[in-house]
A and B are shown apart, each in its own frame.
Chain A
Amino acid sequence: MTFLAIRAQIAGHMLTAAGCVVVIAQLWSLPVAAQSPLQHSQRRQGLDASKPLALPQDPPIVGRLLNGTAFFVDQSGSMLTARHAVDHCARIVIVKEQHRMQARIVALSVKYDLALIKVSKTLGLAAVFPRGTVAAANEMVFANAHDALPRMRDAGVLANSRVERDGSEPGHLIIDSPVTYGASGAPVLDKHGLVQGVISRRTRLDRVLAVGLAETKAFLAANGVDFEQDDRPQVSPFTPSAERAASISAHVTCLTN
């Protein structure tokens, strides 16, 4: 009698569990496909083969978190990041050291994976862009997710990526780089500490696309951002690039409904 009751109870639990799996599977698949800004931006741009570098933090059921990087471009709290890292967000939160601030979208680029967002004040330094000096083929540059910078700063990393120039991606800077999830929107810094591009997505194991310098500056200018330009070195040759990257950038979190 007891044995049969236990069997019936187990069977009941199994049925309940199976039902939950079905419900969770539905909750899991439908909202993700419907809500992920990554997939929206991919479809619009026809970039199905490539892989955006904003990090989905948790398996989503109701909402979703995306983690990327943004950096300051003026003294009044304007920041650049990747469009796919902040598009379709219910809320955008910037985290830098002990600060946590809500950001709003000012502009989204139609053609490139760029977004201009704004917080109440600039934390740290604003980026400096070259006037005309573009990174040459095989030049070593630096880029990484904001969260990875302390580790790289401690290691004294001067550069971690190499510029490739093959003309296959107009408007973009192609780099051979180890950057991974969370790096979307990160600045690509040259040896002088100048921003050469904005990390967008990985297209191959050894190939990352960043929106190019001219396109980035044109986007900022079109939106009235008073950004600084200078071809002179902004850092000492011995300054680890991760230090300057940390001084200008912040973690950006996109919360979707």
Chain B
Amino acid sequence: MRRQYGELIRSPSSSSRRQAIAAACALLALVSAAAAAQTSPFRDPASAPPSWTQFAKLVKYRFEEWLGADDAIAARFRVYLKAHAGASDGPPPKLIVQAWVSPDGSVERVSFPALGDAGATKDLTTILSSGNVGEHPPPEMLQPIRLRFSLGAVK
């Protein structure tokens, strides 16, 4: 009983570390401003079926999770953002990411304009292609899914 109770309550050091990570993620402001399923023909979010919009929201959430993850590649990408935000050779303030999700829910491919740093571009591609979103995409949903991210300036 005591052992399990202890497992549920994190130690202060672990908690502080996670809070620091969460704060870093918030500062980066990697928040998708809009989600839309788009290809030719284009479907804007207002006219897309709710099931498509819900799925796009889920993809957005997963991307945010993966960008804020506690692993080496995500951490390196956040360091790059922090170091280069606002610089002439830095990442754009807004980034359009196109994502193709396979029928089993795993991210098959992502595409976005190069960031000006080959390593950071590769890292972002790796991060966004790293997992499964947790649901099957609606079979009739047009792909790629187009997501807009704001890369907040962090100094």
A and B pair up: yes
Task: Judge whether A159 is part of the interface by a CB distance below 8 angstroms.
Answer: no
In the complex the two chains form, is A239's CB within 8 Å of B134's CB?
no
Q: Which residue of B lies closest to A95 (CB)?
A: B8
A62 to B9, alpha carbons, bound, how many Å?
A: 16
Q: State how many angstroms separate the Cβ of A144 from the closest Cβ of chain B.
A: 16
Task: Judge whether B140 is part of the interface by a CB distance below 8 angstroms.
Answer: yes
Q: Which of B1-36 contact A (CB under 8 A)?
A: 1-2, 4-5, 8-10
Stretch from B46-54, B72-80, B108-116, B121-129 at the A interface? B46-54
Please judge, given known A-B contacts A100-B10, A230-B50, whether A236 and B138 are in contact too, CB under 8 Å. yes
Chain B residues with a Cβ closer than 8 Å to the other chain, count: 22
Task: Judge whether B57 is part of the interface by a CB distance below 8 angstroms.
Answer: yes
Other-chain contact of A235, B54, B57, B61 (Cβ < 8 Å): B54
Q: Hey, which chain A residues are within 8 Å of B134, CB to CB?
A: 124, 243, 246-247
In the complex the two chains form, is A236's CB within 8 Å of B51's CB?
yes
Q: Hey, which chain A residues are within 8 Å of B117, CB to CB?
A: none
In the complex the two chains form, is A233's CB within 8 Å of B1's CB?
no
Q: Which residue of B lies closest to A243 (CB)?
A: B135
Please judge, given known A-B contacts A239-B136, A239-B138, A243-B134, whether A233 and B58 are in contact too, CB under 8 Å. no
In the complex the two chains form, is A65's CB within 8 Å of B10's CB?
no
Task: Judge whether B139 is part of the interface by a CB distance below 8 angstroms.
Answer: yes
Other-chain contact of B135, A61, A62, A123, A244 (Cβ < 8 Å): A244
A230 to B53, alpha carbons, bound, how many Å?
A: 13
Please judge, given known A-B contacts A124-B58, A125-B58, whether A239 and B1 are in contact too, CB under 8 Å. no
In the complex the two chains form, is B135's CB within 8 Å of A247's CB?
yes
Task: Judge whether A232 is part of the interface by a CB distance below 8 angstroms.
Answer: yes
Please judge, given known A-B contacts A125-B57, A239-B138, whether A234 and B5 are in contact too, CB under 8 Å. no
In the complex the two chains form, is B5's CB within 8 Å of A255's CB?
yes
A57 to B139, alpha carbons, bound, how many Å?
A: 40
A243 to B132, alpha carbons, bound, how many Å?
A: 12
Per-residue 0/1 for A87-123: is the Cβ within 8 Å of any B Cβ (1 yes, 0 no)? 0000101000000100000000000000000000001
- The 7 lowest CB-CB distance pairs between A and B, nearest first, are A236-B138, A243-B135, A232-B50, A58-B1, A234-B54, A234-B50, A236-B51
Q: A235-B54, A238-B139 are in contact. List 7 more A-B contacts (CB 8 A).
A: A93-B9, A123-B61, A125-B54, A235-B138, A243-B135, A244-B135, A253-B8
CB-defined A-B contacts under 8 Å, sample of 21: A58-B1, A65-B8, A123-B61, A124-B58, A125-B54, A125-B57, A125-B58, A128-B54, A193-B54, A230-B50, A232-B50, A233-B49, A233-B51, A234-B51, A235-B54, A236-B140, A236-B141, A238-B139, A243-B135, A244-B135, A255-B8
